[in-house]
Amino acid sequence: MCVSPQRWGVTAAGQRSDVDVRPVVRADLLDVFRIERRSFDQPWPYAAFERFLDAPGFLLADDGSPVGFVVADVLSEDGARIGHIKDLAVAPSHRRDGLGRTLLAEGLTVLATRGVGRVRLEVRPSNDAARALYEAFGFETDRVRRGYYADGEDAHVMKKPMS
């Protein structure tokens, strides 16, 4: 299944979110990597993004240039199909205008069409904005993974049932 580009207008909060959301193609990888590097102190390496080119929910937000992305895929865990939000980033110049919410919603939609029963993700406890976004979508902290990140910070493993 391929996600059709979606045109987003204004969010419920009245903020600008006028972008196309479409699957990432190889030509987008350098832009994705640049957004990642501007977003995180410990960014994924370029090769990690190459591995997810065929992931169903590797989506790009584009408003004439790439401004954010989400990496979502499907795993098999104990015989069940589990969605996994692996990465989500918005270019610093486009934060606080609903793009993270838009990308998460699109990623979850793709995972739902793949028949996942639940979705999980890992997030730093220090990332208040991300945790608030995930909680707004119904994610709850299931457990803590001690020392998950390279700098030793723990990760909150958050889960959401899909209905």
Question: What per-residue confidence (pLDDT) applies to 97?
Answer: 84
Taking the chain (163 residues) in consecutive chunks of 10 residues, what is each chunk's mean pLDDT? Answer: 44 54 96 96 94 94 94 90 96 90 96 95 95 96 95 96 88
Q: Which of 104, 103, 97, 100 is nearest to 119 (CA)?
A: 104
Question: What per-residue confidence (pLDDT) applies to 77?
Answer: 83
Q: Could you write out the DSSP letters of every residue in 111-131?
A: HHHTT-SEEEEEE-TT-HHHH
Q: CA-CA-CA-CA torsion for 32, 37, 39, 41, nearest 10 degrees?
A: 150
Q: Are strands 118-123 and 80-90 parallel, antiparallel or unpaired?
A: parallel
Question: What per-residue confidence (pLDDT) applies to 16?
Answer: 38
Phi, then psi, of 13 in degrees rounded to 5: -85, 0
Separation CA 72–CA 70 (nearest Å)? 6
Handedness of CA 73, 78, 80, 82 (dihedral sign): negative
> Domains of the chain (ranges plus CATH)?
6-161 (3.40.630.30)
